[in-house]
Amino acid sequence: MKGSVLITFLISLLLCITGCAKRGIIVTCPEGDYEAFLVEYTSQCKIDSLSGNGSFDIKRFDDEFFGNFSIFYSEKPRRWGITLYGLFGMVLLQIEIKNDSFNIFSPMLDKPVEGSVNDFNLEDYTGIPISPISVPFLTTGRVLLDTLQLPSYCIKKNENLIEFIFEAGSNNKIFGWSSLENRIEYYMCGKKERKELLEVKFKDFRNIDTISLPYSILFIYKGKEEAHLKLNYRYIDVNPN
């Protein structure tokens, strides 16, 4: 009897250990540890201005669009913009956000579209439901954080990678932080009830003026439909004089 109990205990322990090894170890996030992360994160990812260009690829339904893009961002004054180019350098779409307003130009539109950022639906143009306020951060390998909110819990994936999980009702936000490289590797947000998930993967990091920036960014949306948006930088200039 004792032998069977011991075997059962060992099997349960083995399953627990292997399960934790695959998923990671769930731990609470001490306030001091998260504050230390914020200090490191903001010091590594502070960007006052940026300009760059590269190629893009959008897949939505059975359609695929690809071409080149140019992008700019400035903290003061707060402005962000991206232009998508098709064949022969023809402008397909031009988006500019300045403070709390946006402006969209496209040859396919009868006239430019203007309005409040709160009314701007980026999903209509890319198939990716992203808050326009978050876009400038995500296109530079950063995430917009509410520093007043502590993570619900953390998952240690390995020695250097930890996931911070924020739960607010049916909404989840997750990002993976590499303590070794001092950078965010991926970001996810979604709604459980609607089974919606947006995943952003940052790859091909390079150091630009001591700032580590991803040259490849992949947006993957799964929900009512599936859409992919990939940006590959060829050139980035950070904080130019």
pLDDT, position 193: 66
CATH of the structural domain 25-238, one choice from 3.30.70.260, 3.40.50.1820, 1.10.3720.10, 2.50.20.10: 2.50.20.10
Instruction: Return the domain boundaries, the chain.
Output: 25-238
Average the pLDDT over 195-214 and give the result: 87
pLDDT, position 147: 66
Least confident of 1-15, 74-88, 142-156, 177-191: 1-15
Tell which wins on pLDDT, 234 or 189.
Answer: 234
Residue 177 has pLDDT above 60, yes or no: yes
Average the pLDDT over 210-221 and give the result: 89
Across 16-25, 67-76, 105-114, the highest mean pLDDT is recorded for 67-76
Confidence of residue 215 (pLDDT cuts 50, 70, 90): very high
Listing DSSP states for the chain in one string gives: -HHHHHHHHHHHHHHHHHHHHHH-EEE---HHHHHHHHHHHHHHH--SEEEEEEEEEEEETTEEEEEEEEEEEETTTTEEEEEEE-GGG-EEEEEEEETTEEEEE-TTSSS-EEEEGGG--THHHHS----TTTHHHHTTT-----TTSPPSEEEE-SSSEEEEEEEETTEEEEEEEETTTTEEEEEEEEETTTTEEEEEEEEEEEEETTEEEEEEEEEEEESSSEEEEEEEEEEEEES--
Average the pLDDT over 139-143 and give the result: 85
Mean pLDDT, all residues of the chain? 80
In sequence order, the β-bridge partners of residue 176 are 163, 186
pLDDT, position 19: 42
Average the pLDDT over 124-129 and give the result: 74
Residue 20 has pLDDT above 90, yes or no: no
CA–CA gap between residue 21 and residue 173 (Å, rounded): 22
Residue 125 has pLDDT above 60, yes or no: yes
CA neighbor of 42 nearest in space, from 155, 240, 171, 211: 211
pLDDT, position 214: 93
Tell which wins on pLDDT, 3 or 34.
Answer: 34
CA neighbor of 37 nearest in space, from 213, 201, 184: 184
Please say whether the beta carbons of 154 and 29 come within 8 A: yes
pLDDT, position 30: 66
